[in-house]
Amino acid sequence: MTDTLKGKVALVTGSTRGAGRGIAVELGAAGSTVYVTGRTTRRERSEYGRPETIEETAELVNTAGGQGIAVRVDHLDRDRVRALVERIERDHGKLDILVNDVWGGDPLAQWNTPLWEQDLDKGMRMLRLAIDTHIITSHYALPLLKRTPGGLVVEMTDGTKDYNDRNYRVSLFYDLAKTAVIRLAYAQAHELKEYGCAAVALTPGWLRSEMMLDIFKVAEENWQDATAIQPHFVVSESPRYTGRAVAALAADPEVMRWSGQSLSSGQLAKEYGFTDVDGSRPDAWRYMDEVQDAGKPADATGYR
């Protein structure tokens, strides 16, 4: 995908780590200028407490061939978001790609616990981080993005609409957060249609994020060792796989055909022909339906 997005300007929110970092790097590899935002810098950590920083992500974007610009932004702070968009407009006069990937809700999740037993403050904080941040960012960024036909908004979530409609995500607040983001993409697609801009919801599969690798005490280089603990991890994918999905969408002159839809990295890999960093093409959501949820032994044959 080298230079397929040369001259494009992207904003990837929540790109300190995980899918956001993978997306920022792959947009850079395709030639984009990428604004990398998050709350953790080399000087200050967010409540998440992880060591990854936005400066590191920006440097990875540069190494990949793009231009990474790190800006510390709390996307619940309207003034900071407004200032960020004003800076992008001042420096570039346009915004071609907006990826709403702010999350930060993992430490707040209470799994397999009914609503009436959950910590209400934690649940409401999760919704603010997962939904309000996306709405606030789009509110300020879309007037700039819609100026140029072909603009793309990507709402990052967990699960496709089809999967989430059929499966409760074992926590009311988590379920609501991830389902609401899919609807946000649908609504923005409707409002952007007349401007020739698209909006989609996108989910990775079982993501080998920095945190997930730490949980299993492995690194990207030996991630397969984690299957001894969780055999179904065999279908996992790197954050770069999701990044390649976004880069492929952004480079597609007919991206409007996807607008309003709920998509997965595995689905788009089949459509566009890209692979993960190891050359495989995992299709995690089909695997979860047909193997994991069906109670079958772990076997990724035919799913990557």
At 241-256, the pLDDT tens digits run: 999 999 999 999 999 9
| Average confidence (pLDDT) over 210-230 | 96
> pLDDT of 119-147, one tens digit each?
999 999 999 999 999 999 999 999 999 99
Task: Note the pLDDT of residue 1.
Answer: 53
**Closest by Cα among 174, 193, 210 to 255:** 193
Task: Determine the average pLDDT of the residues in 208-215.
Answer: 95
Q: Is 128 exposed, middle or buried (0-12, 13-18, 19+ CB in 10 A)?
A: middle
Q: What are the start-end ranges of the E strands in 193-232?
A: 198-203
Q: Who's near 57: CB < 8 A, 6+ residues apart?
A: 15, 16, 17, 20, 21, 24, 25, 36, 38, 68, 70
**pLDDT value at position 94?**
98
pLDDT at residue 209, as a whole number? 96
Q: What percent of the chain has pLDDT over 70?
A: 100
Query: CA dihedral defined by 58, 22, 94, 179, rounded to 10 degrees?
Result: -130
Number of alpha carbons in the 13 Å side-chain half-sphere of residue 81: 23
Average pLDDT over residues 86-104: 97
Q: What is the pLDDT of residue 2?
A: 73
Query: What is the pLDDT, as a whole number, of residue 172?
Result: 97
Instruction: Over range 274-292, report the average pLDDT.
Output: 96
Model confidence at 26: pLDDT above 80? yes
pLDDT of the residue at 204: 98
Q: Is the pLDDT of residue 47 over 80?
A: yes
Domains defined for the chain, CATH in brackets = 9-292 (3.40.50.720)
Tell the burial category of 153 from Cβ atoms under 10 Å away from its Cβ (0-12, 13-18, 19+): buried
Residue 48, pLDDT above cutoff 90: no
Q: What pLDDT score does 3 carry?
A: 85
